[in-house]
Structure 1
């Protein structure tokens, strides 16, 4: 009986070790190719909008979300709920230099708001870690009429599965 328990315990330990090692390899984010998601901030005709304004992500996958401001006004991509459900790997400020995208700056840590100036872009590299429906995506910049861009319709929803 004692020998049987020892063999069973050894078998379970070996199985757990193999399962643990394989799950670590599968979750190695340094080996994932990022999933590219493009989001335009504002519209060339001056309307305040996110395009697209509904985004869906899956937990455990690495994303590279490019926030490109295509308007003549600065815009925010703000969501506290989104920031609470993701791990930010980095945010990069990028600019066209001699026809090539060049990284000008990189930020790490918890980020809930990114401002992108007209005709510029930022890249947000992240991994969703919590599921849920997020409805607080907005741009809080005030327009000349005193209303925020969100009040002009620059809002969105994010679903994390």
Structure 2
């Protein structure tokens, strides 16, 4: 009986330990050839869960993933710059601390590991890169909404 109580207590403690959580993976495509858009452009997260937001840029242009409101509602565990080599994802660099904007170059990706700590809705997700016509990618429709429940 003591064994089962100890096992249950350990499991209960691990459930609250964010370092033990398996991240919920969410992928956002930043643009596509000839289009400035986030796909999907509406993101939904829950407080207290660990997420790995994979930002992929398959377009020919660099893109920003910028949302100051979102950055104030989360705790960033890390951001990783990744690259695919021989079918495996390799981490090239890792950043920690407050992150407000991530730029992903053409054909590359980044992973943003975070835990939402406040609920709310923000509509300031945008790409501020200036296109050849002088307008920003956001002006061309590269905007989005983030909801944290």
Name the counterpart of 2:107.
Answer: 119
Check 1:70–1:135 CA distance in 2 against 1; reply closer, same or farther (3 A cut): same
Which ranges of 4 or more aligned residues in structure 1 deviate by more than 3 Å? 21-25
1:35 matches 2:24: yes
SS of residue paired to 2:71 = helix
1:74 is aligned, of 57, 62, 71, to 62
Structure 1 unmatched ranges of 5 or more: 1-20
**1:115-154 superposed matches below 5 A:** 115-154=103-142
Name the counterpart of 1:62.
Answer: 50
**1:3-14 superposed matches below 5 A:** none
Number of aligned residue pairs: give it: 140
Structure 2 unmatched ranges of 5 or more: 1-9
- Cα RMSD (Å) of the superposition? 1.4
- Cα distance in 1 for partners of 2:73, 2:12 equals 22
SS of residue paired to 1:42 = strand
CA drift at 1:80: 0.4
TM-score if structure 1 supplies the norm length? Answer: 0.84
- Cα distance in 2 for partners of 1:25, 1:98 equals 35
| Structure 1 stretch displaced more, 121-130 or 27-36 | 27-36
